[in-house]
A = this chain, B = another copy of it.
Amino acid sequence: MELKLNHVLESQQFKVPRIMELFERTQAMKKIVARGGTLDYQNKILASLFYAPSTRTRFSFESAMYRLGGKVLSTEHAREFSSEIKDENLEDTIRIIGNYCDAIVLRHHEAGGAARAARNSLVPIINAGDGTGGQHPTQALLDLYTIHNECQTIDGLSVAFIGALDNGRTARSLAYLLSKFDRVKLHFIAPDELQMKPDILEHLDENGISYELSNSTKGLASKVDVLYITRLDRERLISKHVDLEQYNVGASLLKKLRKDAVILHPLPRSVEISSEVDMDSRAAYFRQAQNGLYVRMALLTMLFDENN
């Protein structure tokens, strides 16, 4: 029997049937929004507790809550603004705010912040990113939903990750999720010093997922179904003497990609995608951002329905 969904903390917590249930709910949400409808969550309140700012992610959650008919409490920079005192602790804040809402979306600056919050919370916690090495599970879920929606399947797909993968929170979370599916093949394309970290690779080994590491897209473009691009920090790359051009997705790479490939990026982007890519029908990153709304609506309904 499936456990109740208490909190959304890390992508590993989701098993395949749960993911499929989420995707079905997501489809339903899409239809409701398309016809300008709303749902019956008028008396529910979502608190956005962002210790570090992220306008897009916050708006995505808050819009989802509004489309459900609910209400929103919001702080966009709690780390700076929470209180006059410096040593206020996250645990007390979460314990108190739980009295004022029905769920908390938390972005915290420390890895593990969401799990600490969950241990002290009266209401469900949704991790909207915790720390550089932490997780961002709803991003991974919307990434996966987009892959599923664009490719009609996940099993058997070949997915390439490109960029600074060592502290790419979104790439890490998505790799965990993909490891739950059958015959998936992963490619990690990054400069050696920015490659995917061993903890993820070990997890893939344990789950029998095949993967390849490389430091160039050479020979790869024609093989992948999904190209997942992550943010490049120009200054960090220059300091590591990495040739930025190598990891840029532009016209020359587009030519080599399959006709039915899907290009994803969690956004915001920096220098890693040339503007000509936006016009290509394979570029799915704006559809991906839009799916964030539906996936988050679906997740919120699951949390509210199962914790009533």
B85 touches A81 (CB 8 A): no
Which size class do A's interface residues fall under? 35 or more
In the docked arrangement, what's the CA distance between A96 and B289, Å? 6
Q: Is the CB of A97 within 8 A of B43?
A: no
Is A155 engaged at the interface, CB distance under 8 Å to the other chain? no
Contact with B along A24-68 (1 / 0, CB 8 A): 000000000000111000110101010011111011101100110
| Stretch in A1-9, A86-94, A238-246 touching the partner | A86-94
CA distance A66 to B293 in the complex (A): 22
Known interface pairs A53-B81, A84-B54; A289-B99 also in contact (CB < 8 Å): yes
Which B-chain residue is minimally distant from A233 (CB atoms)? B85
Interface bits A68-88 vs B (CB < 8 Å: 1, else 0): 000101111110111111011
A180 to chain B, nearest CB (A): 27
Kindly provide the distance from the CB of A208 to the nearest chain B CB, expressed in whole angstroms. Answer: 35
Nearest CB in chain B: distance from A79 CB, A: 10
| Chain B minimum-CB-distance residue to A42 | B38
Check B74–A45 contact: CB distance below 8 A: no
Give Cα A121–Cα B50 distance, bound, in whole angstroms: 26
Among B43, B80, B81, B292, the residue within 8 A (CB) of A38 is: B43
List residues of A (114-168) whose CB comes within 8 Å of B's CBs.
Answer: none
Q: Which residues of B contact A223 (CB under 8 A)?
A: none
> Among A11-19, A210-218, A251-259, A264-272, which stretch is in contact with chain B?
A264-272
Contacts of A99 in B (CB 8 A): 60, 63, 286, 289-290, 292-293
A268: chain B residues at CB < 8 Å are 83, 85, 88-89, 92-93
A40 to chain B, nearest CB (A): 12
Q: Is A231 an interface residue (CB 8 A)?
A: yes
**How many angstroms from the CA of A38 to the CA of B96 in the assembled complex?**
21
Q: Is A101 an interface position by the 8 A CB rule?
A: yes
Q: Is the CB of A62 within 8 A of B55?
A: no
A49 touches B45 (CB 8 A): no
* Contact in complex: B59, A47 (CB < 8 Å): yes
Are A76 and B76 touching (Cβ within 8 A)?
A: yes
* A91 CB to nearest B CB, Å: 9
CB neighbours (8 Å) of A45 from chain B are: 63, 66-67
A67 CA to B44 CA, complexed, in Å: 9
With a CB–CB cut-off of 8 A, which chain B residues contact A83?
A: 53-56, 268
Interface residues of A (CB under 8 A from B): 36-38, 42-43, 45, 47, 49, 52-56, 58-60, 62-63, 66-67, 71, 73-78, 80-85, 87-89, 92-93, 95-97, 99-101, 231, 233-234, 267-271, 286, 289-290, 292-293
Instruction: Given contact pairs A38-B43, A77-B81, enumerate 7 new A-B contacts (beta carbons under 8 Å).
Output: A53-B82, A53-B83, A55-B75, A59-B100, A62-B100, A87-B270, A99-B290
**7 pairs from A and B in contact (CB 8 Å cutoff):** A45-B63, A56-B83, A59-B101, A62-B100, A63-B99, A74-B74, A76-B81
